[in-house]
Amino acid sequence: MGEVDGFGPYTESGQAIAVELDGEHGEYLRAMYLDNFAATAAGRELSAFPKVVGTPGLAVDTGALVGTLDRGAERVATATMPYKWKGLRSW
């Protein structure tokens, strides 16, 4: 994220799970990882979001978009997808 009032710039990544109850669709926010403690604490304490400190990253590497998430010194997740992809036409 860019400059956020009082917190400065930080990176955030989250995991949202699609849910349905009695025909109503929604999202369950399982976890949100930020690399800024003040923003993490504010989101957790003031807004009740499941935020924790982590180090999310996003980069382009040889034609692939690579997302990473570290907690401390441990790599927790790595995800890739083609960079600038185009969907197939449905005929």
Give the residue numbers annotated as catalytic, written as ranges: 51
- 3-state SS class at 22: coil
Determine if residue 8 is left, alpha or beta; phi over 0 gives left, psi from -120 to 50 gives alpha, anything else beta: left
Element (H or E) spanning 39, and its range? Answer: helix 37-45
